[in-house]
Amino acid sequence: MAESVTVRAPGKVNLFLAVGPKRPDGFHDLATVFQAIGVYDTITASAAPAGISLTMSHLGEDLPTDDRNLAVQAARLIAERANVDLRERGVHLSIDKHIPVAGGMAGGSADAAGTLVALNELWRKPLAPHALMDIAAELGSDVPFCLMGGTAIGYGRGEVLSPVLARGQHCYLIATMIDGLSTPAVFREFDALNPTPQAAPEVSPTLLHALAQGDTALVAYAFRNDLMTPALNLHRGARHVIEFFCNNSLTVMVSGSGPTLIAQVDSFERGQVLAERLATWPHVADAFVAYGPVPGIELVRTSRRA
């Protein structure tokens, strides 16, 4: 049997996302609170004769499988840093996608983070965890959090992380939309709506207190996402679906740069009843319930040649 490593990578939601000034490098300074939630992509990295190849399951079948894919970029970068010559030791990546694509739940970033962990394991740990974190930050703003998981504050462009004390489990009702949104387009719309420079952003102390206490009602009260208005300006469908959440007295937000919509629900059972109804709404691709926080990338299986 070929050598292979399988990991699972969770998606994330942002419980808080304040956008600050645009920086000279084109990114915006953020103050955000990420939480990893229990919806997973599964990534298998297998030894192959040469080069990098990628196959994606159904949900990802329209995504590029060449160097435009962040998982392929992750494989190239870790090979370079670990001095692995891909002409002699190739890799095949296989990704089973469940995290919505272009939905603001870090699906592509989760695949990249999972690829880093799977290849580091396949090649018998040439790199230390901090080196993986450095590569993750080069790949994208959300990739370091996808490695870390749990609940964390992100500053900088989202990659400067510190863990947050979060008691208990939160239950989320999540609606994914038929069409996604491009993150740069949502930030451009934010800039168009906010022509004057923004103040340096800070995370709400109320939210941090609520998370530490495990006070779910207060967590929902402290929700904030500055990308919500720009995302909804660009996505009429999501704007329409918000009505469902309001009719059910739920505080709703877009996740990250949207258009995925999330709300906290007080029980898994109530969430499931609502998800069934929500799934029948126009523009909704899928509706489901997931818990957070969950750990970051987890090893599922390792097979070594006999």
Catalytic residue positions, numbered: 12, 142
**Closer residue to ligand C5P, CB minimum distance, 136 or 275:** 136
Chain centre distance of CA 34: 9
Characterize the bridge pairing of strands 28-48 and 52-56.
unpaired
CA-nearest of 31, 50, 99 to 70 is 99
Tell me the window of 24-32, 130-138, 222-230, 292-300 that interacts with ligand C5P (CB under 6 A). Answer: 24-32
3-state secondary structure of 219: helix
Q: Where are the alpha helices (DSSP H) in 194-286?
A: 205-213, 216-221, 228-234, 236-247, 268-278
- The residue length of the chain stands at 306
Q: Which amino acid is at 297?
A: I
What are 228's two structure tokens?
A: 């919500």
30 interacts with ligand C5P by CB under 6 A:
yes
What are 127's two structure tokens?
A: 């790199």
141 interacts with ligand C5P by CB under 6 A:
yes
3-state secondary structure of 191: helix
Least gap, CB of 150 to ligand C5P (angstroms): 20
Least gap, CB of 280 to ligand C5P (angstroms): 32
142 interacts with ligand C5P by CB under 6 A:
yes
Helix (H) or strand (E) holding 70: helix 70-81
187 interacts with ligand C5P by CB under 6 A:
yes
**Closer residue to ligand C5P, CB minimum distance, 90 or 107:** 107
Least gap, CB of 107 to ligand C5P (angstroms): 11
**Closer residue to ligand C5P, CB minimum distance, 23 or 209:** 23
Rounded CA separation 212/218 (Å): 11
Tell me the window of 26-34, 161-169, 213-221, 244-252 that interacts with ligand C5P (CB under 6 A). Answer: 26-34
Least gap, CB of 277 to ligand C5P (angstroms): 33
Rounded CA separation 105/245 (Å): 19
Binding to ligand C5P (CB under 6 A): which residues in 217-276? Answer: none
27 interacts with ligand C5P by CB under 6 A:
yes
129 interacts with ligand C5P by CB under 6 A:
no
Question: Which positions touch ligand C5P (CB under 6 A)?
Answer: 26-28, 30, 140-142, 157-158, 183-184, 187
